[in-house]
Amino acid sequence: MAPERLFNVARKEFSDHITSRRFIIILGLLLVISTISIYEGIGQYNDSLEAYTEQLQRMEEFEDPYSSWMPSKPSIMYVFISMMSYMTMLGGILAIAIGFDLVSKEKETRSLKTLLSHPLYRDEIINGKALGGVGALGFAMALALAIAIAMLLIFSVVPTVDEFAAILIFGAVTLGFLLAYFAVALTMSTVAKESGNALIYTLVIFFAVSSLLPMFGMMAADAFADAFAGDPPEPPEMGPMPKEIVRTASSGYFVSSASQSVVYGGTEDPEWTAYEEEMKTYVEKRRFISDVSNLLSPQMNYYTVAIAVTNPQIAAIAYSPYDAIQEETPGLADALGRVWMNIAALIVFPSVFFAATYVMFMRMDIR
């Protein structure tokens, strides 16, 4: 496989994509809706920032017994939460539109034989087509992020270095999600003889893994959880009223019930401590089953990782509801470490389909 010939094919495919009417229409719709969602997100961010400022002023004016509970300053990453929901639908449609006829169209026009009559090998053709599609999706994602950053600057919202890095990671995660359905579409285009059938097969898989799979996974998780995790532990009987409630941690606006320790006469109640440990183990078992069942759904993986990027604090609470919540907001690296399985799934899912496409194309009978 010669890199020069490979990139020539990729360049030609990329040019065909970004100049096609279908790509331009879907991309334009995606950018318009993303712009609207960013505008709404900026409004919500400004409202949260005003509420944060007012709360700080109130804490300074009045003596607050919980003054050590500092509210969390809103992050501009909240702006991208609205954008995330639109990407799962329109972004997936854009990825499918790019890939569903890459090979089947060549079959219908019988141009594959003509293409292979040139000094090109099969692996250069299929890899070039894949690279061209990846480049077109990367171009669309870069354009959406550029518009989002431009709107932030227009509204005088300047990202910090850490927030800018988080925006780039959000773009990379979104691109990984788009590649999942592009890989499915490319595989179906290689399998089907006609583009119409390839589109139908791809939409069926899209519907199955985005809607049916999470639903059946939830049902299966409930069924297996009863056998694996058992029944939830029973809370101990209520004793005398505690003399003191010691709050060991806070998380700004969010306070977990598990972050409270009941103290009787200066010592922590052992029965409640044991109950909290049992409940923590029970919740972790059920969450593990649910997480495993959702690994096959790009949508669920994307939601999980994107929330960890845009709102690490919520991700930390969701993954450790019975742990003592730290006073400091969890960092981005810590949040991503909690969702490493979902990140790996976003990489493995398209890789499997790309590998299947490569094998089938190399063994395809072209006559």
**Is residue 84's pLDDT more than 70?**
yes
pLDDT of residue 185: 93
The pLDDT confidence band at residue 250, using thresholds 50, 70 and 90, is very low
Q: Answer whether residue 155 shows pLDDT above 80.
A: yes
At 354, the pLDDT band (50, 70, 90 cuts) reads very high
Compute the average pLDDT of residues 131-137: 91
Distance of alpha carbon 332 from alpha carbon 336, whole angstroms:
6
Per this entry, what is the length of the chain?
367
- 228 in a structural domain: yes
d(CA 96, CA 61): 56
Find the domain containing 187 and state its range.
3-362
- Average pLDDT along the chain: 76
**pLDDT at residue 207, rounded to an integer:** 86
> CA 170 to CA 166: how far, in whole Å?
6
pLDDT for 62? 63
Percent of the chain at pLDDT exceeding 90: 16
Looking at the domain assignment, is residue 367 inside a domain? no
Mean pLDDT (whole number) for 173-196: 91
Helix then strand count (H, E) for the chain reads: 15, 3
Give residue 261's pLDDT: 45
Model pTM score: 0.76
- Give the orientation angle of helix 122-154 with respect to helix 340-362, to 10 degrees: 150
DSSP letters spanning 72-139: PPPPGGGHHHHHHHHIIIIIHHHHHHHHTTTTHHHHHTT-HHHHHTSS--HHHHHHHHHHHHHHHHHH
pLDDT above 90 for 23: no
In a domain, 338, yes or no: yes
Give the mean model confidence (pLDDT) for residues 91-104.
86
**pLDDT of 36 above 60:** yes
| Residue 165 one-letter amino acid | A
Which of 270, 360, 332, 327 is CA-nearest to residue 71? 327
The number of distinct structural domains making up the chain is: 1
pLDDT (tens digit, 9 = 90+) per residue, 201-230? 999 998 888 877 777 766 766 666 566 556
User: What pLDDT is stored for residue 178 in this prediction?
Assistant: 92
* Domain-located, residue 153: yes
pLDDT top residue among 83 and 360: 360
Residue-wise pLDDT tens digits, 63-80: 555 445 555 677 777 788
Q: Is position 247 within any domain?
A: yes
**Is 183's pLDDT higher than 90?**
yes
Residue 220 located in a structural domain: yes
